[in-house]
Structure 1
Amino acid sequence: MATLIFGLILFLGIHSISIVAQPLRDRCAAKSEIGWKAFYGLVSFAGLYLIVTGYAQARLTPTLIYATPYGLRHLSSLLMLPFFILFLAPYFKGKISDYSKHPQLIAVILWTVSHLLVNGSLADLLLFGCFFIWAVADLISMRHRVARPLPGLKKSPVNDLIIVVAGLGIYALFVVTLHKMLIGIAIFN
């Protein structure tokens, strides 16, 4: 469990720099944009590696906190449907990204809630709960700071069609094979 916790601290910590220390982030990036991005990427990758490793270890001896009805799996799957669309939206600017304002943060909230509905072990609560709290905090902080531009396609109505088709395609792949292959759990048995 310590590996999972340390990974969450690293990953969410570096992703929280703009929330709690925007001037520090800006100074570091101003000194060396490439250096900052390299540092940010390395810490993020190390944190993600530890999260994956720690979560896998914790699943071997789970501590169950709560159990939910089987039927919530369908609601969870339904909540995941817009996740893939919203996660892609910032890179394909259109009406979806304009309307949702911060689509990736909304996607992370949907991902965490959908997984907390069907996973009730201590490791699940740590993983998805921490990501939920971080995403809500980041969403709230976005009201008080200017979003940095993301690389992506020029704004177009076609982009909305692209992300809906791509998002639905990725969702279908996850339901059919990828979730079982990557996570080890079939969505529907």
Structure 2
Amino acid sequence: MIYLILGLVIFLGVHSVEIFSPTFRSRTVARMGEGAYKGIYSVLSIIGFVLLVWGYGVARQDPILVYAPPAWTRHLAALVMLPVFPLLLAAYLPGRIKAAVKHPMLAAIKAWAFAHLLANGMLADLLLFGGFLIWAVADRISVKRRAVVRPVPGPPPMKYNDVIAVVGGLALYVIFAMWLHVRWIGVSPFPPM
């Protein structure tokens, strides 16, 4: 469990810098340069991610039950997951979805984490998905309160970006739910009845 916790602290910690200090990035980039900052940020993010993935896998081998969700919550989780991939794509394809949601990546993370908390009740699940949910809520609140320190680069809005986000996102949902989830995570989101 220690590797999962350490991974979460490092990964979410690196991604929380602007929550606690909105000017930290700009001050650090001015001092050490953008390339060095991005390099350190990337290395710490990768280390944190590897530790949390590995730690979650290790923790699942010796599970500690916190709560036992009823079987129907898996179906509810699958429903809550439907907008996740379209929202992820909308974060990179500016259009009406991105304008309406404002921060589709954070909305996707919140839906993903909440869906997995509905269907999983082990301590490792609570730490992983609960940690991401708390972080995403805190980051969304922080984004509302802080002034735009730097523009976020991205492609210009295009006529079909929303269609691409929805159709492509739903296709990714089907591919992930039907094939990749069981291959990469080892658990089928749709177990046999």
| CA RMSD across the alignment | 1.1
* Identical-pair percentage: 48
Partner residue of 1:23?
A: 23
Structure 2 counterpart of 1:6: 6
Output the amino acid matched with 2:44: V
**What is the one-letter code of the residue matched to 1:179?**
H
Aligned: 1:57 with 2:83 = no
Name structure 1 gaps, 5 residues minimum.
none
Change in Cα spacing, 1:186 to 1:108, as seen in structure 2 (3 Å) is same
Task: Specify whether residues 4 and 86 from structure 1 end up closer, same or farther in structure 2 by C-alpha distance, changes over 3 A only.
Answer: same
2:181 aligned partner, one-letter code = H
Tell me the residue number matched to 1:160: 162
CA distance in 2 between partners of 1:139 and 1:183 (Å) = 28
SS, match of residue 142 in structure 1: helix
- Secondary structure at the residue paired with 1:22? coil
Cα deviations by residue, 1:75-124 (Å, 9 ceiling, x for unpaired): 10011110111112121000000000011111111001000001000000
Counterpart in the other structure of 1:185: 187
**Contact 1:95/1:157 (8 A) holds in 2:** no
Counterparts of 1:143 and 1:119, CA distance in 2: 31
Instruction: Return 5+ residue gaps in structure 2 as ranges.
Output: none
Decide which moves more: 3-12 or 142-151. 142-151
Q: Which residue of 1 aligns with 2:142?
A: 141
Alpha-carbon distance in 2 for matches of 1:87, 1:16: 19
Alignment of 1:81-92 (within 5 A): 81-92=82-93
- Give the stretch that moved more between structures: 24-33 or 36-45: 24-33
Contact 1:62 1:123 in 2 (8 A): yes
Instruction: Please report how far the alpha carbon of residue 150 of structure 1 lies from its aligned counterpart in structure 2 after TM superposition.
Output: 3.5
Structure 2: which amino acid aligns with 1:53? Answer: W
Residue 153 of structure 1 deviates from its aligned partner by: 2.3
1:80 aligns with 2:77: no
TM-score under structure 1 length normalisation: 0.96
CA distance in 1, matches of 2:94, 2:147: 17
- Structure 2: how far apart are the matches of 1:171 and 1:136? 23
TM-score by length of 2: 0.94
Tell me the CA shift for residue 151 of structure 1. 3.6
Amino acid corresponding to residue 33 of structure 1 in structure 2: E
Map residues 25-44 of structure 1 onto 2, 5 A cutoff: 25-31=25-31, 32-44=33-45
AA partner of residue 61 (structure 1)? D
Matched residue, 1:114: 115
Q: Is the 8 A contact 1:90 1:150 kept in 2?
A: no
Q: Which amino acid in 2 is paired with 1:28?
A: T
CA distance in 2, matches of 1:24, 1:82: 33
Q: Which amino acid aligns with 1:98?
A: A
How many corresponding residue pairs? 189
TM superposition shift of 1:29 = 2.0
Quote the Cα distance in structure 2 between the aligned partners of 1:40 and 1:146: 22
